[in-house]
Amino acid sequence: MSEFRLAATAAFGLESVVAHELKRLGLEKSGIDNGRISFSGTERDVARANIWLRCADRVLVEMGRFPATDFEELFQGVLKVPWGDILPRDAAVHVTGRSVRSKLSSVPACQSVVKKAIIESLKGTYHSGTFPETGPRFGVEVSLNRDVATIDMDSTGPGLHKRGYRSAAGEAALKETLAAGLVYLSRWKPGIALADPFCGSGTIAIEAAMMGRNIAPGTGRQFAAEQWPFITSRAWDDVRRDARGAANREDLHIVASDIDDDVMGKARRNARHTGVLSAITFRKGDFRELSLPAPQGIVICNPPYGERSGDRKTAAEQAGEMGRLFGQFPAWSFFILTAFEGFEKHYGKRADRNRKLYNGRIQCYLYEYGSRFKVSGFREKA
């Protein structure tokens, strides 16, 4: 398999950001549908996408796509894939699935049919009726969308948000992929001051520092496809070597603060583990005592909100305090991610722009204030 049909999956609201990331890697999207950004590439591109994408959830390799309105069509479609050329005899096959607006709505039943079809295919190749499944793990996903089945293999393994630097996450922690997405959406660039007054474990600041120093987020972890027999280890080794050589030591103006001593300690440890401690100034302090590091810049933050803190009254009061405080810095832009539904009302001003996003399963909105400060960077097409 020299050329693959690939897809990067993304959380709702980040699809265009991931498409932009792919373009920067020289990989043009062929379509975006239901959180799936399709593209094509070589085995090296499978490695590059996994190691370099900051905002995607996974990188999938498409094995087949066909109409499936009943279980027989699903079984026969999966059976046509040459699984014996792809999977070793001892492959541990794990099938996941989802169904949207399709006649085949029982996901567990679809998973079972797909697994049976794969085993049936392997029987024909290996002339055996038993398969120990003691070898490398192969994740297979069946996605049914409007009665069309897509069969993918998951090249990533644990999601791409698993960078490896966060040893322990707090309650309702911000996913690394979403934090990177916030930095992209803010249009921040090195040379522009950045502050997070609710830094928690430091995720936003660390993701920004990794971007600013061109540190690939996947260099310190392993991926499922590294065990695949049809993707060479050389592809992964070459991409990792090139990625490590591309990192720089650029001076950055990033300030991260929080009132909690314990989480500040975690943030420093996370930054040290990632190699960006020197790029971030950590300060213990209440956001009400905000001191911004430059005449103009960007604040990106994920303040506590009712669902996380268990106190909606406190969240409302905090939103009002933020509105009064942030209004004192007219040369700064503010990007505030929160699930608190009454945020704009209590902040005291409608946002210049807002965008629906999801932190895991929590629906949030990213509110943008102070858009007058423009920086070159990521732009969405209208």
* Per-residue pLDDT, 309: 46
* Per-residue pLDDT, 381: 43
Q: From residue 59, give the alpha-carbon distance in Å to each of 80, 149, 318.
A: 23, 18, 39
pTM for this structure? 0.93
Listed residue (11, 118, 116) closest to 64, CA to CA: 118
For the chain, list the domains and their CATH numbers.
4-154 (3.30.2130.30), 176-213+248-369 (3.40.50.150)
Nearest 5 degrees, angle CA 278-CA 280-CA 282? Answer: 115
* Per-residue pLDDT, 356: 97
Listed residue (185, 207, 224) closest to 49, CA to CA: 224
**Average pLDDT per 10 consecutive residues for the chain, totaling 382 residues:** 91 97 95 94 98 99 98 98 94 96 98 97 92 92 97 98 78 87 97 96 98 97 93 96 97 96 93 96 93 92 70 88 94 96 95 95 95 52 36
Alpha-carbon span 139 to 115, nearest angstrom = 11
Which residue is it, tokens 């009132």? 259
* Per-residue pLDDT, 382: 29
CB atoms < 10 A from the CB of 87, how many? 26
* Per-residue pLDDT, 168: 57
DSSP string, 139-163: EEEEEEETTEEEEEEESSSS-TT--
Alpha-carbon span 117 to 115, nearest angstrom = 5
* Per-residue pLDDT, 229: 87
Radius of gyration of the chain (CA): 23
The amino acid sitting at 55 is: C
Q: Which residues does 328 contact at the CB level (< 8 Å), separation at least 6?
A: none
